[in-house]
Amino acid sequence: MLTAFIILGVLAATVGLALLVTAIRHQSEQQPRYAAMLIGGMMMTAFGIVIAGFAIAYQRTAPLDLNAGAAR
C-alpha cells in the first residue's frame, strides 16, 4: 500500500538525483550555483530516502504497546 509519504519520498529522491546529475555535469564551470545544486541535491535525495524508508518501516511493524509491561 502506497502512502503519501512514500510517494513524497520517491519524488524528493528523484528530484534530488536530477539536481545531483545536473550539478555534476556542470562541475567544470566553477560557479557557486552548481555547488549549491550539488549540496541541495544531496540533501533532497537523503530526505527522500529517509522519508520513504520510515514510511515503509512504519507500515511493516506492529504497534508498540507500552502499557503491556508489568509494574515494578
Per the structure, the count of domains in the chain is: 1
Domain that holds residue 33: 4-59
In a domain, 68, yes or no: no
The per-residue pLDDT for range 26-60, each reduced to its tens digit, is 988 889 999 999 999 999 999 999 999 999 999 89
pTM: 0.79
CA atoms within 13 A on the CB side of 2: 7
What Rg, from alpha-carbon coordinates, does the chain have?
19
CB within 8 A of 35, min separation 6: which ones? Answer: 23
Q: Is the pLDDT of residue 70 over 80?
A: no
CA atoms within 13 A on the CB side of 10: 7
In a domain, 20, yes or no: yes
Distance CA 46, CA 37 (A): 14
In a domain, 67, yes or no: no
In a domain, 26, yes or no: yes
